[in-house]
C-alpha cells in the first residue's frame, strides 16, 4: 500500500521526535511491503520565521493533498512577543479547521512497566487507568470571537459558542467509541453555569436513546478533574467540549507517568487525520537528544490504525514499545530509581523500537 504523509516537524524538540517516528514507519513499511512517502510542511514558529505566518495557505494545501499528517510540536518563548493572531499556536487552530478534524481522541492508559512513575497512590493505579477523552476540536471558546477594547482600563471578551449539530457529531463519536470499548460514556460539561453546557447536556441525552447499549452519565467538569485523580478506573470514554477537553486530557496524561508517552489522533469526516503527541515543544531540551519520542511513535501507530486501516502494523509498534520498556530502557522523563533501568537518548529509543519491530514475528 502506498501512502503519502505530510510531516510537520515544527519547533523545539519537534524535529527530533518526528525523526524517530519516521524511522519506525520506514521499518514498518519495509516489513509489511508498504511505501510511505513524506511531504514536509512548515507550521508554527519555524513558519513565522520563514514566511511571517504560522501556517500559510500553501503549507496547509500541502497537508490537504496527503493521506494524513504527522505533527511534532510548535511554539516556544522565541515567539512570545508576536501579535496574538500570529502566535505559533494559531497554526494549530488553523490546520484543525482547515482539515475539518473535529474529534480529538486522547487515550489515558498506564503502561504496566511505568506504574511506579504515576503520581497516584499504588492502590489507585492497581485498579487500572485506561480511558479515552474524546474532545471537540474546532468549536467552542478557542474558535469564538476574541477581542480587547476600552480606553484606559482594557476589557477582553472570548466567546464560547456551540450549535446542536456540532455537539451531535462529537457526541456520536463518543457513543461509537464507547461501543467499541466497555460501553460507558461520561459527558462532561458545566451545565450549572453555562448555556452552552445545558445545550450540550440536552443533545447528549437525546442521542442516548439511539445507543441503548451504552451507559451515559453526566459530570460537571470541576468534579471530573477531581475524579480523574481520585479514581480514574471509573472512566471508560469521556466526551467533552474543546477547552474542557484540553485541560482534562493534560491532567489525565500526568497520572499515567509522563506526558511524553501520550499520543493523539484528530479526525473528521474523512480518513485524513492529524496525529501528534500531546506535549509541547520543550525548547529547554531541544537539540540535546534527550526528548521522549514514544508519544510521537505511538501517534504514528494511531495513524496506521485509524487512517490507513493497518491494525496489525499498529499492534506491532505498540508491542515493540512495550518490549523496550520491559527491557528497562527509559528516557529521562520516565526514569526512576528502580534497579536495572537504563537511561536512553531520544535517538536510541527510536533505534530500540525499530529493532524490536524487526525482531518480532
Determine the Cα–Cα distance for residues 289 and 285; give it in Å rounded to an integer.
8
Catalytic residue among 42, 246, 316, 333: 246
Catalytic residue among 190, 236, 323, 333: 190
Three cell numbers, residue 71? 505533527
**Residue 11 annotated in active site:** no
Task: Tell me whether residue 231 is one of the annotated catalytic residues.
Answer: no
Distance CA 218, CA 158 (A): 26
Q: Spell out a b/e string for 23-45, using b for 16 or more CB atoms within 10 Å of the CB, else e.
A: bbbebbbeeeebebebeebbbbb
Q: Write down the catalytic residue from 40, 49, 61, 222.
A: 222
Q: Which of 23, 90, 142, 316 is catalytic?
A: 142
**Quick check: is 67 catalytic?**
no
Measured in residues, the chain has a length of: 361
Strand order in the sheet with 130-136: 35-40, 2-10, 68-73, 274-277, 263-267, 103-109, 130-136, 237-240, 184-189, 215-220
Q: Exactly one of 26, 53, 218, 250 is catalytic; which is it?
A: 250
- How far is it, in rounded angstroms, from Cα 128 to Cα 122? 10
Cβ atoms 240, 188 nearer than 8 A: yes
Sign of CA dihedral 253, 263, 183, 313: negative
**Which run of H or of E encompasses 287?**
none
C-alpha cell at 201: 447536556
Quick one: cell of 63? 497537508
Catalytic residue set: 142, 190, 222, 246, 250
Amino acid at each position: 500500500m502506498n501512502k503519502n504523509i505530510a510531516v510537520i516537524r515544527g519547533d523545539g524538540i519537534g524535529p527530533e521526535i518526528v525523526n524517530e517516528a519516521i524511522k519506525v514507519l520506514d521499518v514498518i513499511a519495509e516489513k509489511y511491503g508498504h511505501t510511505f512517502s513524506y511531504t514536509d510542511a512548515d507550521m508554527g514558529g519555524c513558519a513565522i520565521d520563514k514566511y511571517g505566518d504560522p501556517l500559510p495557505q500553501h503549507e496547509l494545501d500541502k497537508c490537504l493533498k496527503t493521506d494524513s499528517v504527522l505533527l511534532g510540536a510548535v511554539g516556544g518563548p522565541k515567539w512570545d512577543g508576536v501579535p496574538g493572531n500570529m502566535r505559533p499556536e494559531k497554526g494549530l487552530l488553523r490546520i484543525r479547521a482547515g482539515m475539518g478534524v473535529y474529534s480529538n481522541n486522547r487515550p489515558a492508559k498506564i503502561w504496566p512497566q511505568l506504574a511506579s512513575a504515576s503520581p497516584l497512590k499504588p492502590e489507585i493505579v492497581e485498579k487500572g487507568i485506561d480511558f479515552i477523552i474524546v474532545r471537540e476540536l474546532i468549536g467552542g471558546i478557542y474558535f469564538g470571537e476574541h477581542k480587547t477594547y476600552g480606553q484606559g482600563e482594557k476589557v477582553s471578551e472570548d466567546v464560547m459558542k456551540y450549535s446542536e449539530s456540532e455537539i451531535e457529531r462529537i457526541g456520536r463519536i463518543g457513543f461509537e467509541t464507547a461501543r467499541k470499548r466497555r460501553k460507558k460514556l461520561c459527558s462532561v460539561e458545566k451545565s450549572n453555569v453555562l448555556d452552552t453546557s445545558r445545550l450540550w447536556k440536552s443533545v447528549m441525552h437525546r442521542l442516548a436513546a439511539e445507543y441503548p447499549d451504552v451507559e451515559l452519565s453526566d459530570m460537571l467538569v470541576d468534579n471530573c478533574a477531581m475524579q480523574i485523580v481520585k479514581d480514574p478506573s471509573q472512566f471508560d470514554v469521556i466526551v467533552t467540549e474543546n477547552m474542557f477537553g484540553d485541560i482534562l486530557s493534560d491532567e489525565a496524561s500526568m497520572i499515567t507517568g509522563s506526558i511524553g508517552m501520550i499520543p493523539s489522533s484528530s479526525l473528521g469526516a474523512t480518513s485524513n487525520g492529524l496525529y501528534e503527541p500531546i506535549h509541547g515543544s520543550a525548547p529547554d531540551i531541544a537539540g540535546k537528544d534527550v526528548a521522549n519520542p514514544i508519544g510521537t511513535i505511538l501517534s504514528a501507530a494511531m495513524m496506521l490504525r485509524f487512517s490507513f486501516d493497518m491494525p496489525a502494523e499498529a499492534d506491532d509498534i505498540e508491542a515493540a514499545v512495550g518490549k523496550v520498556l520491559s527491557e528497562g530502557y527509559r528516557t529521562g522523563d520516565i526514569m526512576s530509581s528502580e534497579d536495572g533501568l537504563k537511561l536512553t537518548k531520544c535517538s536510541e529509543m527510536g533505534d530500540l523500537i525499530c529493532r524490536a519491530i524487526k525482531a518480532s514475528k
